[in-house]
Amino acid sequence: MNETQPKLLMLMYGVIAFFAVVGILLLVVDKAPKRGREKVQLLAFLAPAVILLSVGLLIPALRTVLLSFQGPGSVDWVGLDNYEWMFTTAEARRILLNTAAWVLIVPALATSIGMLYAIVIDKARGEAFAKALVFMPMAISLVGASIIWKLVYAVRPPDQEQIGLANQLLVMVGFEPYRFLQDPPWNTAFLIVIMIWIQAGFAMVILSAAIKAVSADVIEAARLDGVNAWQMFRNVTLPSIKPAVIVVMVTISIATLKAFDIVRTTTGGQFDTGVVATALYDQAFRFGEEGRGSALAVLLFVLVLPIVVYQVRVLRSQKEIR
């Protein structure tokens, strides 16, 4: 336990630094001279965040764009070589295809399941508890979730007892045990299941709130018209919660695009399961190919760019209305 002490000391320094920084900033604001007071106050409040954002995010992001046109070790300019690698080699194409599968399937299924669950438990007894069950995976790390599912997918030879639930069920109905994580292309599908398992809870919470906000008058009117459950969903609920559905799908898409932990923890990107985020890590931090890694990062950015533009537009129109 000797190594614990310096860590706790460091923790203490961190906390002290926090109070020191906050204290000094507030003091600066308080004691600012009368002349230019507004400016000093503004700087004290805003500068720390803006500096950190520039040093930690903005400038590095711009440099990444430059790096993506350079070779290993970032010495020579290589033009579009890294991008060519990304779109022409078989290994990279596999990665792009897998990522496309993730981004197409996870938002659709996680949102559908979350919506379905939100509808069936709406106003049910024990709703809060039922929600917490499905929501819980949100609190678990993706690493933890991956280990949970690694146990579910565990496989033993046919002559031994199975220890994974999935293969136990297969064997019970008379199939051979299946190597869920090792056999492409379906192993990617089984990894995608893990992400759906995590994101459905998020979809459920947001959509449940949206469903509760649907006006009671509209529902009552539809009920008097004698619509059945499906018609009610199709013609009343769904149109009312459409904005929330879009937000949920966009949010899950972005999260899925960047998903790294699941593939890294379960297969390490082997067996044809690699995605952009894992390939990026491998290229930049294991193989010394910072150029290729940076090109993959730029690809991620280009893919979310339309979302950024759209969101900024929405935000600006909201501001104008106010």
By CB under 8 A, the residues from 65 to 124 that bind another protein are 67, 113, 116-117, 119-121, 123-124
Cβ closest to another protein, residue 37 vs residue 234? 37
d(CA 161, CA 167): 10
Q: What angle, 0 to 180 degrees and rounded to 10, lies between the N-to-C axes of helices 90-120 and 81-88?
A: 70
Cβ closest to another protein, residue 42 vs residue 80? 42
Q: In whole angstroms, how close is the CB of 89 to another protein at the nearest point?
A: 20
Cβ–Cβ < 8 Å for 183, 153: no
Residue selected from 164, 177, 237, 295 as contacting another protein according to rule CB under 8 A: 164
Q: In whole angstroms, how close is the CB of 120 to another protein at the nearest point?
A: 4
C-alpha closest to that of 266 among 149, 165, 162: 149
Residue 3: count other Cβ atoms within 10 Å of its Cβ: 6
For Cα atoms 310, 318, 249, give the angle at the middle one, nearest 5 degrees. 40
- Among the residue ranges 83-91, 103-111, 125-133, 184-192, the one whose residues contact another protein (CB under 8 A): 125-133
* 231 counts as binding another protein under rule CB under 8 A: no
* 20 counts as binding another protein under rule CB under 8 A: no
- Among the residue ranges 34-42, 87-95, 102-110, 214-222, the one whose residues contact another protein (CB under 8 A): 34-42
Q: In whole angstroms, how close is the CB of 90 to another protein at the nearest point?
A: 23
d(CA 319, CA 317): 5
105: its two tokens: 């399937």
Q: In whole angstroms, how close is the CB of 269 to another protein at the nearest point?
A: 11
Cβ–Cβ < 8 Å for 65, 294: yes
Residue selected from 77, 87, 129, 175 as contacting another protein according to rule CB under 8 A: 129
d(CA 199, CA 193): 10
The Cα-based distances of 176 to 151, 162, 171, 172, 181 in angstroms read: 18, 11, 6, 9, 15
One character per residue 193-222, x = contact with another protein (rule: CB under 8 A):
----x--xxx--xx--xx------------
- Among the residue ranges 81-89, 96-104, 184-192, 300-308, the one whose residues contact another protein (CB under 8 A): 300-308
Q: In whole angstroms, how close is the CB of 111 to another protein at the nearest point?
A: 12
Q: In whole angstroms, how close is the CB of 73 to another protein at the nearest point?
A: 11
Q: In whole angstroms, how close is the CB of 44 to another protein at the nearest point?
A: 8
What residues numbered 255-284 form the site for another protein, per CB under 8 A? 257-258, 260-261, 264-266, 268, 277, 280-281, 284
* 242 counts as binding another protein under rule CB under 8 A: no
Cβ–Cβ < 8 Å for 252, 107: yes
CB within 8 A of 178, min separation 6: which ones? 155, 166, 167, 170
Q: What angle, 0 to 180 degrees and rounded to 10, lies between the N-to-C axes of helices 4-31 and 37-53?
A: 150
d(CA 288, CA 310): 35
Q: In whole angstroms, how close is the CB of 268 to another protein at the nearest point?
A: 6
Residue selected from 110, 192, 244, 245 as contacting another protein according to rule CB under 8 A: 244
* 227 counts as binding another protein under rule CB under 8 A: no
58: its two tokens: 């903005």
Residue 110: count other Cβ atoms within 10 Å of its Cβ: 27
